[in-house]
Amino acid sequence: MREPCNQTPPAHGLTPKGNPRMTAPQSRGSGACRVAAASPGRRARTAALLVTVGVTLGGCVGFSADGGLGPAHGYAALELRKDIVKVSDETAAIGAAARAEQLLRRPLTPDSAVQVALLKNRALQASFNDLGVSEAEFVQATLPPVPRLSLSRTGGDFTLEVERSLTASLIELLTLPVRIPIARNRFRAEQYRAVGQVLRLAGEARRQFYRTVSANQSVAYLEQALASAGSASTLAKQLGETGALNKLEQAREHAFYSELGAQLAKARVLQRVEREKLIRLLGLWGREIDFKLPNGLPSLPGRLVSGTQIEAEAIKKRADIQTARFELQSLAGQYGLNQVSGFINVLDIGYSDRYERSKAFELNEQGGFNVTRDKSFGRGYTVDLVIPIYDFGTTVVRGAREAYLGAAHRLAEKAVNARSEVREAYQRYRGQYDITRHYQGSVLPLRKTIQDQALLQYSGMLIDVTTLIIDARSRILSNIQAIEAQRDFWIAATDLRAAVIGGGFTGEGFGGESAGAEAVAGGGGETLAAATPGG
């Protein structure tokens, strides 16, 4: 009988990383990294042992019922007073559509516009799906290494060789308790990134609501002004026919009316553009786009938000800072893991068996053949590792350290920027409140008084039509600017909230495009400074 298992010298080769790989002595033909049982019962016990050790080290991590949207639900409920829905099946889609339809039956408010956007916006749903992918990767990262079973059968006419092996990565198994917190922190970072998407959409929808309503309000005011200018132009024509008004003053009235018509057309284009932007943010199409909006912007609040403790609140609540914190914790864990496993990052254990059977025929003295049967069975353990001749883990550890330090600096930058953004947003908020109050309490009443007195003096032939037109242009400009100031206040209020909790504070200005009242005020060659005393 032959020896049950012949030993072979160590096998050398190159790994994909270019490092020489050395395999410890093993049974012939067993290959690298094998572990096998000598019998079905022993193989079952070995596999069960590997699974038990993996589960013990790794614990049980499964998919969450809400797809990882717990933090997003919390922020939506506490900070926005809204709720979010992940549309993952037909039932959820029908429910979200029904809720949105119910909200769209009444004129939209800033709050209802935000809720419709959270229900209907497809980009937000895509970000929820991305979070689901991240959760799947997290759950996968918490699982113990999967044992690899290998079966091999070779033979010829008179020989048969069967080899079985079961292998597992010891490094992955031993480092599993360390890798689970790393994966969890990465997933938590993705969860707060999804929170940022929710807050960003809510802020954009609210801002765009104010811009759209402001555009509607500007169009309504310009329509009233155009109607008044049309009446004045008609009267000027009639007076000209009687000889009471010369051609120059008639032309000025007609030009003023035409300029207002052009500006109204421009304002209507802006009105449609702003509405389409709102439609896209709300995710509406078909008959849903026929929703109604209020006639004007909300009135100024009776009380302003306090500026005390808002910096500390921002550091505590901002979603982007929470994201950076969990990313930093993840990289810190990865740095520590690389320091431990940087030198040896591949260590597999194996247990294999090999069964051989052969027949030999020898001619005997009687002219026949003697059959000699030979059987052998061997088993053994193997260990497979990468010897880092050219890199003893220095590059991996150095890269992890630099990544960790970079994340720490980015977190510090976000904290510094958050404090500054909150201060800036609050100054804009208070400033726009004072500006709007000034327009409503001082500028507009004075403009009305000026126009009323100008009409009286014009009726008494104390001033000409030029002065009357200049005053009319100035009043139109002041009213449009008052509407835009009120719009900018509500946008500043939205920006302040976004600066505190996260959600896309940019600091790039307040409203959208202007209704173009400056051109109305400057039509006919008069500038705003010339049209209004004191500039």
pTM, two decimals, is 0.80
Percent of the chain, pLDDT > 90?
50
Sign of CA dihedral 485, 490, 493, 499: negative
Closest CA to 73 of 82, 62, 60: 82
Lowest-pLDDT choice from 122-126, 269-273, 330-334: 330-334
pLDDT average, residue stretch 460-465: 78
Q: What is the pLDDT of residue 530?
A: 34
Q: What is the pLDDT of residues 304-348, one digit of tens each?
A: 998 888 999 999 999 999 999 999 999 999 888 888 776 666 778
pLDDT average, residue stretch 4-28: 38
Instruction: State yes or no: pLDDT of 30 exceeds 70.
Output: no
Contact 139, 133 (CB under 8 A): no
Lowest-pLDDT choice from 436-445, 487-496, 523-532: 523-532
Q: 174 burial class (0-12, 13-18, 19+ CB within 10 angstroms)?
A: middle
Q: For the chain, how far is it from start to end, CA to CA, in angstroms?
A: 114
Q: What is the pLDDT of residue 171?
A: 82
Decide which of 529 and 410 is more confident. 410
**The total number of residues written for the chain in this structure:** 535
Q: What is the pLDDT of residue 263?
A: 94
Q: What is the pLDDT of residues 140-186, one digit of tens each?
A: 999 988 888 889 888 877 788 888 888 888 888 888 898 899 999 99
* CA–CA gap between residue 531 and residue 467 (Å, rounded): 9
**335-341: long-range pairs with CB below 8 Å, 24+:** 335/397, 335/400, 335/401, 335/403, 335/404, 336/178, 337/175, 337/178, 337/179, 337/182, 338/393, 338/396, 338/397, 338/399, 338/400, 339/397, 339/400, 340/175, 340/178, 341/171, 341/175, 341/393
- Average pLDDT along the chain: 82
Residue 361 main-chain phi, psi, to 5 deg: -115, 125
Q: Locate tokens 């990383």: which residue?
A: 17
pLDDT average, residue stretch 257-261: 92
Q: What is the pLDDT of residues 381-439, one digit of tens each?
A: 888 877 777 777 788 888 989 999 999 999 999 999 999 999 999 999 999 999 999 99
Name the pLDDT band for 245 (thresholds 50, 70, 90): confident
Q: What is the pLDDT of residues 191-211, one digit of tens each?
A: 999 999 999 999 999 999 999
Instruction: State yes or no: pLDDT of 518 exceeds 70.
Output: no
Q: What is the pLDDT of residue 476?
A: 93
197 to each of 117, 193, 261, 345, how far by Cα in Å?
Answer: 12, 6, 41, 37
Instruction: State yes or no: pLDDT of 288 exceeds 70.
Output: yes
- Token pair, residue 283, equals 């995710």
Name the pLDDT band for 469 (thresholds 50, 70, 90): confident
Closest CA to 472 of 194, 206, 298, 228: 228
Helix (H) or strand (E) holding 355: strand 347-363
